[in-house]
Amino acid sequence: MFKGDVKKPRLSTIAAIGENRELGKKNELIWRIRDDLKRVKDLTTGHPIIMGQKTYESIGRPLPNRTNIVLTQDPDYRPEGCVMALSLEEALSKAQEVEDEEIFIFGGAYVYTQTIDMVDRLYLTRIHDTDPNADAFFPEYAAFTKVIAQELRDQDGLEYEWLTLERE
Residue 25: which of 142, 158, 133, 107 has the closest Cα?
133
31-87 tens-digit pLDDT: 989 999 999 999 999 999 999 999 999 999 999 999 999 999 999 999 999 999 999
Residues paired with 149 in a beta bridge: 164
Question: How far apart (Å, rounded) are the C-alpha atoms in residues 103 and 98?
Answer: 10
> Residues near 11 by Cβ (< 8 Å), separated by ≥ 6?
92, 102, 103, 105, 115, 118, 119, 120, 121
105-153 tens-digit pLDDT: 999 999 999 999 999 999 999 999 887 889 999 999 999 999 999 999 9
| Burial (0-12, 13-18, 19+ Cβ within 10 Å), 99 | middle
User: Is residue 125 domain-resident?
Assistant: yes
Distances 131 to 10, 93, 134, 158 between C-alpha atoms, Å: 31, 36, 6, 13
Q: Across the chain, what does the average pLDDT equal?
A: 94
CATH code, 18: 3.40.430.10
Predicted TM-score (pTM) of the model is 0.93
**Domain span at residue 47?**
13-144
User: Is residue 137 domain-resident?
Assistant: yes
> Residues near 37 by Cβ (< 8 Å), separated by ≥ 6?
none
User: Is residue 97 domain-resident?
Assistant: yes
User: Is residue 27 domain-resident?
Assistant: yes
User: Is residue 112 domain-resident?
Assistant: yes
Question: What pLDDT is stored for residue 148 in this prediction?
Answer: 98
Report the domain count for the chain: 1
Residue 28: which of 134, 132, 162 has the closest Cα?
134
